[in-house]
Structure 1
Amino acid sequence: MKKKVSAIIFLIFLISGFSYLNAAEIKGQVNETTKGEPYTHGSVLLEPLGMEYRFESKIDKQGNYTFQNIELGKYILWVDIYSATPAGGERREIEITEEDETLELILFITPSLLDKVLVFTKETSDFMWFPLMVVLLFLIGVMLTVLTRFIQVRRLILSLKMVLRGAMRKDKSEKEEGDISPYAALMTALAATVGNGNLAGVATAIATGGPGAPVWMWIFGFIGMATKYAEGFLGVRFRIKNKRGEMSGGPMYYARHGIKNVKLAKFMGMFFAICGAFTCLFGTGNMAQSNSMALVFNDQFGVPFWLTGFVVFTMVGAVILGGIKRIGAVSERLVPTMILFYFGGALVIIGANILNLPEAFAVIFKAAFSVKAVGGGMVGASLRMVISVGVRRGLLSNESGLGSAAIAQSASRSSDPSRNGLIAMTGTFIDTLVVNTLTTLTIVITGMYLKTSVFGASEGLTSTKLTAAAFDSVIPFGGYIIALSSFLFGYSTLLGWCYYGEKCLEYIFGVRIIFPYRIAFIVLLFIGANIQGPHLNIVWYIGDIANAFMAFPNIVS
């Protein structure tokens, strides 16, 4: 018996050895066609003809790439710039034969202006977020958690009871100064927070950072609850009444009136207002949302991009022109409905795969803390990438550290800043620890995470398409649920972020800017809905950069 086992083992090693003897190395350099210089961005992809996986080699600082132990056969080789295949790039079909030990191939690329913008925004975003913003957000979250004696644990039940009382119309703040109820303020903040970041953002994090990225969302979400408490507290503590008799507050106001150094206070307040306005007009608070909505409706129903853009343009305009009171009234009805709708759909997916739940959590946590690349070495995501992507997408989703929720809370009828802090804190809990968790589990428990580019899958599923694929795997009309959820989430986010941008620009120019800003906002969201092609990630990277610029003055303040 032992001899048979030994013979089998020997045979396996022998076959493996022969397979490596028949394997080749592919290496070379990527050059710019016009300059003749090495191109040092992105990756080279190698896909076997007729197969549903691919290999990736990062282009190094000298423009070199290498593939090792590639088996005999036909392949397609091309340059990929951060998930965008440039129109000016070369796609070469090659064949590896028994005579080939090493193939040296020079690839040429002519990057377009959009390619260059994509590279700049992606690499700038990476530089700003890891380790700078990751460390800052972690430290401020830990510091506030300690200073508040773990308020996110001690007062979570109380804060949820406050929210429930508001939902049941038992809130007694009618006689207090402010524009909307604390519950409506929370729903406005949640309207901005629970958006396509929960669908597209979480899915994108998994597609680029692997299934472990959401763990870092949870970690930073937990400590971010203390940060959100502080933001809600300060939003009410330092708010003012504008010329229209409305409340105005947020990081620009608590920076301006809370920092003792006058010059630093003015600079930080203005810096936040400028970055906030930019994000609301051009970043994740506007164009990225309308684009995600148009993309999923086009994919699921074949609706033209321009038509979705026009519908969103009309619906958002009808609400935002009525100001914060109309936004609050719509949000307090829309937000609970859309969360429960998505919650129900996600529970069906998880319930149908309930036996895979322990394995799903094992995959998630193993990937979150593994130093080795995710994806079997084909493509993979380093631990640094997993953390960076998780934190970035987590912040995009829950906004803890951005200071945006302070703007909404400052409008609430309240004389107790601590109460508003507690209510604001529940926003991060609902967004990250509930909604994001549902998205993560549906993608992992159905195995759809294996069809992402980080695992070398040719499908390269990402964004809302990845979430829709998870729903479709169980529910025949699951993609429709995601399409409708994406529309509702994006719509609510547009309402909330429009108000944030309005207050940022009001801080800079006064109330006279409000109406022109609202018009510009809905025009830009229409434009955002019509952006197509492989360079869509530019919008998200710009949002990441703007978020970092928003977070910095807020953290300092």
Structure 2
Amino acid sequence: MREFNSWLIQLDGLLGGSPWFPFVLLGTGLFFTLYLGFPQIRFFGRALRIVRGKEDKRGMPGETTHFQSLATALSGTVGTGNIGGVAFALFLGGPAALFWMWATAFFGMTSKFVEVTLSHKYRRKMTDGSMAGGPMYFMHYGLGWKWLAVIFAVATVISSFGTGNLPQINNMAQAMEAAFDVPPMATGAVMAVLLGLVILGGIKRIAAVTSKLVPFMAAFYVIGALGVLVVHGDRIIPSFLSVFQDAFTGSAAVGGFLGASFSFAFNRGVNRGLFSNEAGQGSAPIAHAAARAEEPVSEGMVAILEPFIDTLVICTLTGIVILASGAWTEKIENNFDASDMRIVAGQWDDAIEADRTALFHYLADEDDGDVTDFSGVVTVTDGQLAGDAGVTVLNARSVAEDVRFATEDGTPYTGTLTVEEGHLADQSVQVSGRSLIHSAALTSEAFARGIFGGAGRSLVAVGLLMFAFSTAIAWSYYGDRAMVYLFGVGSVRYYRIVYVLGFFWASFSDTTLIWNLAAVAIVLMTLPNLLGIILLRKDMRDTLKGFLKDHS
């Protein structure tokens, strides 16, 4: 698994983690924002009217209402990206990452408008009476590029696991274990059964569940976040200021956080913004294709609301809670994941500025030679490293403190340990101590610092359970529509079985591995979608002009 995780990191570096990807994503949204005259601002009010049913007509083709389509698409986007993803972005890039998540959302509102409009325009009615749409249909019937449609559909199936399935249950199980001490495998088993019961009912049952679940879970989460901000009210404005101050300079070192460069914060903010709101990824159009509407543009307008609700409201709440609480800079007692931990040669102290600088360059993969991975043998006595070990343990991009080694049954370890290029050769040895934390664990810690105290962790756990479960439901539909396009209606039952089994497996798998898999899967879906909407830009403009002429 370590080798596979390393390969995923390298692949992510070539794709989503590359210098060019954020510019492609933001550039596409910026282009359409200017090309179509800022539709995210012009049509925002009309989108609210449409979603309330003010422009509905009887007898329109489709299976769901505008609101149900919005709720289903939101259930696919409002998930672990809003809880664990924001925390992960701040953990990697500091406050500056949140600014670039906002930028991704603003321009993403236009990207969603375009991809949903085109998808709805070229949707098709299946032999079983259901509606099917998505980027694969506008690529096939709008562009006439079936080969690109196939690439997108295959990427959608992969991404349904990498985005909507595996990371969702992984964060859910992690939060339930931290809050209620529920074994991850138990969480995975119960939720997998519930998932199977819901997705067997198809889009009508999915829409019925998500339209009730999404408003409730959003309100529930907002109350928990406000409970933290009430306690740390004096830090709200400084937290917002830090987001803007660091946006173009990168985030400086503070506490256990060793700092992040501008390029790193920019890249991770855009990347995690995409994971959260999925604007440009091409997933939401699949849900909106089922809406009862004759006019593609009206459904596209509804989609404008998704990045606003998902990122500019919910992700912002999460980010400010984490920043205001101070949890993102503090070292917390935790168990170290093998993928997060590195053992480096020499004694390094993050209280010394020169050491912080050297460690910063090491974590940024800048080969300056000052900090190197350790290879050799270390001696451990009664769970503690020997004083003359000559190594430093890093975990979660921070210098770990009070490090302890134990056997699988929790007994303090005594003996020697072989270290190969910074990693323990014996993966059965458990390591714990104090370090920075990330993902859902960081959000849980921040929520525990509000008026609800330790119960804040329970709020995050329950909120995460609802968010993640609703996302998994929506993404099962995205994946099965892609399977219908590729292999026909009969393939869906097999896909759903594998989807549920994968959901169970990911509940007890390594967190870092899951996030890296998700990062790669997102880009495999996004690039063909962005290419498709760029090539159909004139089609989109003409469709919008026709709609405004007839419905001005």
The answer as to 2:344 corresponding to 1:464 is no
Q: What is the CA-CA distance between 1:371 and the residue it aligns to?
A: 4.5
Q: Distance in 2 between matches of 1:375 and 1:507?
A: 50
Task: State how far apart, in whole Å, the 1-side matches of 2:10 and 2:47 are.
Answer: 39
TM-aligned CA deviation for residue 173 of structure 1: 4.3
In the TM superposition, what is the alpha-carbon distance from 1:216 to its structure 2 partner?
0.2
Corresponding residue of 1:550: 525
Aligned partners of 1:378, 1:176: CA distance in 2, in Å? Answer: 54
Match for residue 28 of structure 2?
140
1:278 maps to which residue? 158
Gaps of 5+ in 2: 332-395, 401-433, 533-552
Instruction: Name the amino acid aligned to 1:275.
Output: A
Question: Alpha carbons of 1:448 and 1:266: their partners in 2 closer, same or farther (altered >3 Å)?
Answer: same
* 1:264-275 equivalences in 2 (<5 Å): 265-275=145-155
Q: Is 1:196 equivalent to 2:83 in the alignment?
A: no
CA drift of 1:131 comes to 1.9
- 2:325 aligns with 446
Q: Which runs of 5+ in 1 are unaligned?
A: 1-113
- Give the alignment of 1:131-530 within 5 angstroms: 131-163=19-51, 165-166=52-53, 172-259=56-143, 262=144, 265-281=145-161, 283-371=162-250, 373-375=252-254, 379-451=258-330, 453=396, 458-474=434-450, 475-476=452-453, 477-530=455-508
In structure 1, distance between residues paired with 2:58 and 2:175: 40
Deviation sequence 1:176-220 (CA, Å, 0-9, x none) = 100111110110000100001100000011111112101100011
Q: Percent identity?
A: 36
Relative to structure 1, the CA distance from residue 447 to residue 242 in structure 2 (aligned partners, 3 Å threshold; closer, same or farther) is: same
Range that drifts further, 471-480 or 124-133: 124-133
* Structure 2 residue matching 1:131: 3-state secondary structure: coil
Deviations 1:233-292 (A, max 9, x none): 012100001111111000100111111xx4xx11110000001101113x1211111111
SS of the counterpart of 1:392? helix
CA–CA distance in structure 1, aligned partners of residues 291 and 147 of structure 2: 27
- Alpha-carbon contact 1:174-1:413 (below 8 Å) kept: no
Cα deviation code 1:67-119 (max 9, x no counterpart): xxxxxxxxxxxxxxxxxxxxxxxxxxxxxxxxxxxxxxxxxxxxxxx222222
Match of 1:126 among 6, 9, 13: 13
CA–CA distance in structure 2, aligned partners of residues 159 and 210 of structure 1: 33
1:4-19 correspondence runs (5 A): none
Q: Does the CA-based 8 Å contact 1:378-1:456 persist in structure 2?
A: no
Q: SS at 1:403's partner residue?
A: coil
TM-score by length of structure 1 reads 0.75
Q: Distance in 2 between matches of 1:556 and 1:430?
A: 26
TM-aligned CA deviation for residue 542 of structure 1: 1.4
8 A Cα contact 1:184 1:328, kept in partner: yes
| In 1: Cα distance, 2:198 partner to 2:250 partner | 48
Q: Are 1:467 and 1:482, in contact at CA under 8 Å, matched by a contact in 2?
A: yes
Compute the displacement of 1:160 (Å): 2.3
Between 515-524 and 195-204, the greater mean CA deviation after superposition: 515-524
Task: State the secondary structure of the residue aligned to 1:411.
Answer: coil
Q: What residue in structure 2 maps to residue 540 of structure 1? A: 515
Match runs of 1:25-64 below 5 Å: none
Q: Is the 8 A contact 2:256 2:330 kept in 1?
A: no
CA distance in 1, matches of 2:325, 2:437: 14
Q: 1:378 to 1:227 in 2, by over 3 A?
A: closer
Shift of 1:397: 0.4
Contact 1:284 1:539 in 2 (8 A): no
Partners of 1:378 and 1:319 lie apart in 2 by 42
- Residue 175 to residue 372, structure 1, CA distance change in 2 (3 Å): closer
Higher relative contact order structure (alpha carbons within 8 Å, sequence separation ≥ 6) = 2
In the superposition, relative to structure 1, how do residues 173 and 483 fare at CA in structure 2: closer, same or farther (>3 Å)?
farther
SS in structure 1 at match of 2:20: helix
Tell me the SS of whatever aligns to 1:402. Answer: coil
CA apart distance, 1:530: 2.0
- Is the CA contact 1:194–1:489 (under 8 Å) kept in the aligned structure 2? yes
Measure, in 1, the Cα distance between the counterparts of 2:56 and 2:257: 59
**Which residue identity is paired with 1:543?**
A
Shift in Å at residue 385 of structure 1? 0.9
Quick one: distance in 2 between partners of 1:246 and 1:332?
19
* Code of the aligned partner of 1:439: T
CA distance in 1, matches of 2:193, 2:58: 32
Q: How far has the Cα of 1:133 moved from its partner?
A: 1.8
Contact 1:367–1:374 (8 Å) recurs in 2: no
Contact kept, 8 Å, 1:208 with 1:389, in 2: the verdict is: yes
Contact 1:505 1:513 in 2 (8 A): yes
CA gap 1:469/1:378 in 2 versus in 1, 3 angstroms: closer
**Alignment RMSD:** 1.6
- TM (norm. structure 2) is 0.76
Counterpart-to-counterpart distance in 1, 2:127 and 2:262: 50
Residues 248 and 216 of structure 1, relative CA distance in 2, 3 Å threshold: same
Larger radius of gyration: 1
Query: 1:5 maps to which residue?
Result: none
The one-letter code of the counterpart of 1:541 is: N
Deviation at 1:355, TM superposition (A): 2.0
Give the CA deviation at 1:174.
4.5
Count of residue pairs the alignment pairs up:
432
Q: Tell me the distance in 2 between the aligned counterparts of 1:402 and 1:389.
A: 16
Q: CA deviation at 1:541?
A: 1.2
Deviations 1:126-146 (A, max 9, x none): 221222221111111011101
Q: Name the structure 2 match of 1:48.
A: none
Partner of 2:430: none
